[in-house]
Amino acid sequence: MIMGRGLVNRLLALIAACAALAVASAAQAEDGYRLWLRYAPLEGEALARVRALPLVVHADQDPTVALAGEELVHGLAKLRGEERRPGVVITASRLARPLPPGSLSFECRDSAVPPGGAFAIKPADGGLRISAGEPIGCLYGAFALLRELSLGRNPAKIDLDERPAMPLRLLDHWDDPNGYVLRGYSGRSIFDWWKLPEHLDQRLVDYARADASIGINGAVVNSVNASPLFLTDRYIPKLRRIADAWRPYGIRLYICARFSAPKDVGGLPTADPLDPAVQAWWKARADALYAAIPDFGGFLVKANSEGEPGPQDYHRTHAEGANTLARAVGSRGVVIWRAFVYSAEDQTDRAKQAYNEFVPLDGQFEPNVILQVKNGPVDFQPREPFHPLFGAMPHTRLMFEGQITKEYLGQATHLAYLAPYWKEVLDAQTGRGGTVAQVIAPAGMAGVANTGSDRNWSGSHFNQANWYAFGRLAWDPTLSSAQIAREWAMQTFSRERGFIGKVVPMMIASREAVAEYMTPLGLTHQMATGHHYGPGPWICNLKRPEWNPCYYSRADKGGIGFDRTASGSNALAQYAPSVAAQWADPRTIDEDYLLWFHHVPWDFRTPSGRPLWGELVYRYDRGVATVDEMAATWASLAPYVDPERFADTADFLRIQSREARWWRDASIAYWQSINGLPLPAGTRPPEHSLDYYKALSFPEAPGE
């Protein structure tokens, strides 16, 4: 068939128009995939200054250096609002000297800068120079420079000298081999083990880049309730494919090791850590992993906790168990042993059990063992005092474990910015060797990841801020929550003052709001059983006492709260005397910890002058009111935010405000059924009866 000229032209025009449309919509699509690495074009003076900056890349064969150069080229072009690289010079040979005036260069093997990721960005030759002791420092420097420029900083005034505060900055993925994510609220696992090793999803590369941009340097790829599959030969090529992809980004791969694996997949009759055949098995496994992955990070182990196997099954101690794996790994890596243990047989206060088990073992661990301790002594609750193990084991390296995925803080839909939450613990004085941040500095921080297959990675746009904040705090725990929120929001959403001035205070207030409408005044673990979605303070019939919310509230006709002073479980005695003294007296304790440490009568007079019952109701109401304010703030920010992300966030705030009321109403209805007290004057009664709340059921809630 012969087409007329007109038709051809019209078709060509149509194709061109479609292509233009595709480019335009791709450019405008704001589905959150790009995280904080959007490099939105600068404007005004900031734009002019960055446009004036030529780039010279030191030619180096190292893949990490190449990535740093590529990131700068890509990032600068975007900040300049250019498609790609105009004005950017890349030398193909060694650094040309003298450099063009005002140029940006980098030197990645500068012996004056220490190894381990440190970098400096200093004025040089009328421009700027990034220098680092190792290539990874250059990559961190490139991201830091792009961050500074994204925030609108004048390149002439940038002068940074940074080094990470701690060596291990990890994400722990609670992902199963079949793609299910335990406590995951953002879709399926990002690891597609079934298609590996042949197919590696681009998302895993994008993930490594995002991690590197905030200084994360390792990831544990499978759940703590570990499948032994990861220790089989079949998984080695899969793991290797990922490790190879991550290496240039400085991300080391770790796996969770199931303690019973010698039996489960090794064909041995026992997993006794002192059995020579078991020891030889672990050594052979470690050797096989290191042969495939020379920079394999090591093993993370959850042992004798919540039914997982461990050395106590063979009457061996945690130290004996950890040391068997540690010797197998040797100087090549680490064994991270979790301190999250509580036992079915142990009737003592759950908050005391980890300390009781581990403190006597101090000094017995191999030097490459690190003990990973949750922020608080129970389990990632909206608020807990810092874990008493911090500072109590001077001869053992301790690492901080936080939960980025918000199992107990509203999961995907509630907006809760967690930097203030982690800072509360990191900044706490242990009374034994400084703050928690100082105690963990020789080891590091691990965060239970909130990443999944959702386009926006984290289940909500604001949950990305928690991934970001965790990395930034592991790099530098002295950064303030507000500073981190500010830089995240500017890079992720908008640099406009009208936006930042409102969104940062909203983020800062958000975690406190959750703590107040769920578990005010130091109450804890009032979530429904299993999925932990929504309130369940009435639950009191589960097999093990510490699974029940009533175990934690100890609410009765006379009062509420868990007595952890000398007259009760005396968990207080696990803290240094200077710390215990602050919390010993219910009249002087920080009210945020009141019901954590004390059982007080309903008419106990609180510092506000209100009786405890009135104060409790007041706090629930304040939490709900803060969420309403957050929703109003967000509504006012529409002019600054793209429609897609604006609508997603507005929807989620609507869910949060409904669920905050649910939390408040169900909790108040239950406490009233216990204390028989009328509501304080002027207080809104719960919308429904207690029976209504008790009857709600969500068998399909995600993440369990």
Catalytic residues: 306, 379, 407
Q: Shortest approach of ligand BDP to residue 170 CB, angstroms?
A: 14
Cβ at position 176, least distance to ligand BDP in Å = 12
Which residues 6+ apart lie within 8 Å of 87 measured at CB? 51, 54, 80
- Looking at beta carbons only, is 213 or 227 nearer to ligand BDP? 227
Mask 295-334, x = binds ligand BDP (CB under 6 A)? -------x---x----------------------------
**Least separation, in Å, of the C-beta of 38 and ligand BDP?**
32
- Identify the CA nearest to 253 among candidates 217, 284, 223: 217
317: helix, strand or coil: coil
Position 701 contacts ligand BDP (CB under 6 A): no
Q: Kindly tell me which of 338 and 661 has the beta carbon lying closer to ligand BDP.
A: 338
**What is the torsional sign of CA 117, 118, 124, 128?**
positive
Beta carbon nearer to ligand BDP, 175 or 379: 379
Q: How far is the CB of 189 from ligand BDP (least distance, A)?
A: 15
379 binds ligand BDP (CB under 6 A): yes
340 touching ligand BDP, by CB under 6 A:
yes
Nearest to 255 by CA among 217, 286, 212: 286
Tell me which H or E stretch contains 148. Answer: helix 135-150
User: At closest approach, how far in Å is the CB of 704 from ligand BDP?
Assistant: 8
Q: Which is nearer to ligand BDP, 322 or 560 (CB)?
A: 322
CA distance linking residue 495 with residue 151, whole number of Å: 7
Q: Given candidates 235, 249, 337, 380, which one binds ligand BDP under the rule CB under 6 A?
A: 380
Cβ distance to ligand BDP smaller for residue 314 or 547: 547
The CB density around residue 628, as the number of other CB atoms within 10 Å, is 15
C-alpha 579/C-alpha 37 separation (Å) is 41
Q: Which of 91, 225, 270, 317 binds ligand BDP (CB under 6 A)?
A: 225
Contacting residue, 224, 419, 437, 528, with ligand BDP by CB under 6 A: 224
Q: How far apart are CA 242 and CA 249, in angstroms?
A: 12
Residues 171-210, mask of contacts with ligand BDP (x by CB under 6 A): -----------xx---------------------------
Question: Based on CB atoms, which residue is closest to ligand BDP, 180 or 640?
Answer: 180
Q: Is 521 left (phi over 0), alpha (psi -120 to 50) or beta?
A: left
Q: Which two tokens stand for residue 379?
A: 């389990």
Minimum CB–partner distance for residue 219 and ligand BDP (Å): 17
Rounded to whole angstroms, the Cα distance separating 695 from 693 reads: 5
Cα separation, 167 vs 135, in Å, equals 16
Q: How far is the CB of 182 from ligand BDP (least distance, A)?
A: 5
In whole angstroms, give the CA distance from residue 337 to residue 279: 17
> Distance between CA 661 and CA 324 in Å, rounded?
51
Contact positions with ligand BDP (CB under 6 A) in 384-443:
407
Residues that bind ligand BDP (rule: CB under 6 A) add up to a total of 10
Per rule CB under 6 A, is residue 77 in the interface with ligand BDP? no
Residue 226 has φ and ψ, to the nearest 5°, of -80, 140
- Total residue length of the chain: 704
CA 252 to chain centre: 17
The residue among 76 and 257 lying less far from ligand BDP, judged by its C-beta, is: 257
Report the C-alpha gap between 703 and 448 in whole angstroms: 13
Report the interface residues with ligand BDP, using CB under 6 A: 182-183, 224-225, 302, 306, 340, 379-380, 407
